[in-house]
Amino acid sequence: MRIPALTAGMLLAELTGTAQPPAHLNTGAQTLSDGIIYPKDTHIAHIEPRYVSGFVAPSGYTYSWVVDGYRLAIDTNGNKNYLTRTTISKDASSTTQAHVNACTQFCEKTPTCAMASVIRFNGFSEGNVVCAVYSATAPKSDAVYTTGPFNGPGQVSASYTFNRKAGKVPGTFTSTVTTSSALTTSSTRPATTSSGFTTVRTSTSTTSTSRSTTPAAATSSTSTTPATATSSSSSSATSPTTSSTSTSSSSSSSSSTGTSTSTSASASATATTTTTTAPVYDQWMWVDVPGTQCADGSATGFALNLHAGASELVISYQQGGSCYDYNSCYVQKTAYNIDSGFSNATFWAQNQPNTLKWWFPFARDNQWNPWQKANYAWIPYCTGDWHAGDNTVLYPGASSATNHRGWGNAKLDMARIKQMVPTPSRVWLAGSSAGAFGAILQYQNAQNIFSGTRVDLLADSGETPKSALARPSQNIQTPQCPTCDDTSFDSYIVGLAKANTGSRFASMSWSNDTTIPVNQGVSYDDFSLEVARLFKQQNAETSNSRNFMVQGSGHMLLWTTQYNAADGYTQATFLNKFKTDDPGWSSH
């Protein structure tokens, strides 16, 4: 959501000089983790009172501005000067001088950084205090984003920005991602190894294991997480990040031998790297899928994260609203990635690996996650149709056609996943919000593709009192089962459960969802009544479909496990019993 750069109240505060620092700031004298005592009134005298935060600009930096409730863009689509970001604190309750110091230190380690922005979030999966860095300074009036990236989870409390006095940090910024020790990346096009793992690679470089998000100068221009490879050259990158920039070389690859050849832009020199057959484990890799189509007509794919020895597979569909006409798709922009597409570059530019690790079924470091040692596949959302549309339409007012092709995309993606993970012992389809709708609508396709393998369903915030066919322009494709009723979307999960008694179906929701009613054009009361009705029906008519409800207002539950039902039952317990076939699995 976009808001004016200065509200009337903010403008009055600027003119009168009466505004005070935001209440949530630690502005009193205190000794922080760096051992320095910072008094309350240490701001630079000439700065307007409205923009005084109580923080000291670290050495080599000037205090620029602070705004309440919004931030600069933290992706290259919204701000071309954005470089990368890192989490300063996962759970801080307020912003401190130590956070400011850490952010400017991060800037100092980032080649071409000229500005550091400390962002205080509430409910953001990456953390409560995040540092974003940029290659150029930006005025406070450009900070118009109030949520997490791409209208995702999280609300901005405030942002504080500091400019580097000496201009840009020397060096060339290179986007990289965390890889395993001695892992090599190579060409810029997909290359298929002899084991069948398709990878997207960049110019040759060797990196080592690191979970840090601090970037370092390197010889490659873009980076992804491929299958393991060997190389004759090495790079100094040891603490990589996940954004992506342009590449300076073209490449060709041999899919039959697993060997790729990278040719320089001048075509005067070549270097050959040979991939091995062993995949990289516990790291995300991007896979292009021919035939897929985003709303803007560009091709897309999926991301894969394999685990050594894993036989189980979790397939997740990305959340992100829906749209059905020119206004919703291109003016209000109520769906993710409609006019930008979603590619390998998008995956890294949006810092998706760092985001996905906080989604509970993908949380490898969470000991309470029953899917901690499974293989993960993540299907992005760029069609605005709950991953289930099958139509191309030219909306009046639009300059080009909109491709609602989520139905075919997901089928192609799952078929490719099946090639790469050919014999899973069990499959879970899962998603939050639009991803939950997609998981439900794609369930029978998954059954067909993974024929003979049990497929379970986990739907977080995927309910509506409306029909799936309420938006004809999307041409949503629906499940076919004896009790599935196209006039009621919520009949599908009950009908699928009745038709597949050997599988489990889990529903999750807030008692008062704050997002779906707006997107669906229904009242909050009607939505709450429908969720209660659906959950009651699941309990009464099935033995393999159960639900979990959190009392209160919000949207999506799987980005944390720190929720309890009204009776005190924990979300983590509900999910563990769901996954492990515990006979005591029950609704709460």
pLDDT in tens, 475-518: 999 999 999 999 999 999 999 999 999 999 999 999 999 999 99
Phi, psi of 504 (to 5 degrees): -115, 145
Exposure pattern of 356-367 as b/e (b: 16+ CB <10 Å)?
A: bbbbbbbbeebe
Half-sphere exposure of 260 (CA within 13 A, CB side): 32
SS3 159: strand
Q: What is the pLDDT of residue 179?
A: 31
SS3 293: coil
Q: In which element (H, E) is residue 254 found?
A: strand 250-254
**Residues 288/190, Cβ–Cβ less than 8 Å:** yes
Q: What is the pLDDT of residues 272-317, one digit of tens each?
A: 444 444 678 999 999 999 999 999 999 999 999 999 999 999 999 9
Mean pLDDT, residues 130-155: 80
| Stronger pLDDT, 178 or 92, i.e. the higher one | 92
Q: What is the pLDDT of residue 547?
A: 98
**Residues 27/54, Cβ–Cβ less than 8 Å:** yes
Q: What percent of the chain has pLDDT over 70?
A: 72
Which residue in the block uniquely carries the two structure tokens 């130590």?
A: 98
* 226 pLDDT more than 50: no
DSSP string spanning 57-76? PPTTEEEEEEEES-B---ST
Exposure pattern of 50-77 as b/e (b: 16+ CB <10 Å)?
A: bbbbbbbbbeebebbbbbbebbbbbbbe
